Chains A and B, each alone.
Chain A
Amino acid sequence: MQLLSIRSMEERIKFLVAKFNSGELSAVEKAELQRLVEDYPSMVSAEITDLLYASESNSELPAAVDQHKWNKVLGKILAVDRHLTVKKSPVKIYLKWIAVAAVLALVIAVVLRIQTGGKNKDSFATDIAPGGNRATLTLANGKKISLNEIAEGELIREAGLSISKAANGQLIYHIEKNTSTADDTGVNVISTPNGGEWQIRLPDGSSVWLNAASSLEYPINIGSTTLRKVKLKGEAYFEVAKDSKHPFIVETAEQKLEVLGTHFNVNSYADENLTKTTLLEGSIRISEIINPAASEILKPGQESVLSATGIRIKDVDTDESISWKNGYFMFNNEKQESILRKIARWYNVKVEYADEEAKDVMYYGTVSRFDKISQVLRKFEQTGEVRFDIDKNKITVYKK
């Protein structure tokens, strides 16, 4: 390799970077550029900056800025160093009950003080780690694979598909080009335990984030069927690959949801009485399974709530419904009882109430999903309304 002057080195880099930008690099040039990137990163970066300045005067008019997308990105950026906290919701309180509760609280406090010797700081007997990536994949032949135990890049082969685990854990389906007679009519099921979550990319290119205690059943040939129908228990966030010729259908216990190509969240746990569907982008049609004629169309920013009395639609803060996927618990005037059900699924604990009134305390705020449970519960305690005891995997809730 001859010695090149800095000037001609810059020109060479400029030439190669421009070719990379227009997608015309040959294999040999690619190898050369790779080496230059390793050896002279600042020069390569400078050439990229030049290209950027040059692109300012592009004759192509920039497309309209997608505010929705960029607001999401901005939201993510600004949230990393935001301070998360929980505040008690200002709610109408019935005076009669305050008086009674206050008296009770006083009595209990006195009794406790005597017993515990006036110890003010609670110390949790045990602490519990948050959930993480845990899931089981059941293949068409019934074989179960524990996904957290297989290595990154490892392939599972079934019926003309190979399933690999990407670096971040996401399960990706690939269609193998050279398939023999493949029987691809079976279903796969991916399920998460309490304390588990997982992300998967289905054979049709749709991405699904599964929350704790949930399961998703889908046909292996979903990439080529007329209808892309999946069955969900629990909660999942979907980014459905656009394909208007092949509607995507999500079935839960009570609800059927039809999609063309969109991003939405479905919350349908058996121990919650409602099926909530929140739409972020696109358009979906919701109907009750027992009453398919009555259907509703959802627009972005709306949430449908399906209960025994039918379907109700309202405008919501979509960030709240997908906060779990972004690593938070976010609540907006939510009751302690409902919040603790979510916490129970994620930390795999049981919740018991020593005082029924504790169930009704309402909160708004945000808490990280990746803290240990003691840190999360302490934030609630700091509002002065409730107190917790942790014993092994049982949480007991007291009203202060």
Chain B
Amino acid sequence: MFHSAADAHAEARSRKDGQALPRLARGQLHEVHADARDWASALAFGLAAIEADDRRPVMLLRTSPRGGMLVPCGEGIAGLGIDPARLVIVDARDGTGLLRAGLDAARSSGPAAVLLESWGALREYDMVASRRFVLAAERSRIPVVMLRGDAEPRASAAHTRWTVVSAPSIPLEARAPGPPALLVELVKRRGGPAGMRWQLEWNDEDGALREIPLETGQADDVAAPLPGIVVPLPAVRTGAPLRRIA
């Protein structure tokens, strides 16, 4: 559901650097790390793994989040091109229950995608648990997205690991906030290069998240080397450097 930007800049750049945004592929386990305040962005990124014209249900499994209840808003989900009637929200009592229910959902070929919301360290989610998810997802050919809030990255068998933060949007007229914009970094990728970052913007016409060049407005960064100097990516936990764990 990701589309490369139509404009020549981004295309040229992605061709040049070979850095097209990899999609949250089916049959794989993806981890998305985000801060509690960026949770809507993380969820939007996870929902991007779902095909809009599919009619199968989307399983959203969660444990009670910290600090107030966050409830998905049907109209907001419809705004991201997904029929809210497809969403099945499962509340697990604890981490173990969440992983067990998630594993059952990932093994079934009924849902279109399985999204798990977890908070904090989630000790039960280790190499073995994540490997189970990988096997389940590979067999049922559906994407499994593990959303991890306020968590340190841990060793896991996931295919990709991302960090997602909200990005300043491109203002509409009268200084109104623009469409959803996020900054994603591919922290880890099994069997591929990692460490790239993209700025994504929701495009209503495509009904998809679309890549936009990092640092909008600077047209001459086409040839510029990519790393570091562009929009700084706030660390997942303030002050802590982003650690990369394979």
A interacts with B: no
Which residues of B approach A to under 8 Å, CB–CB?
Answer: none
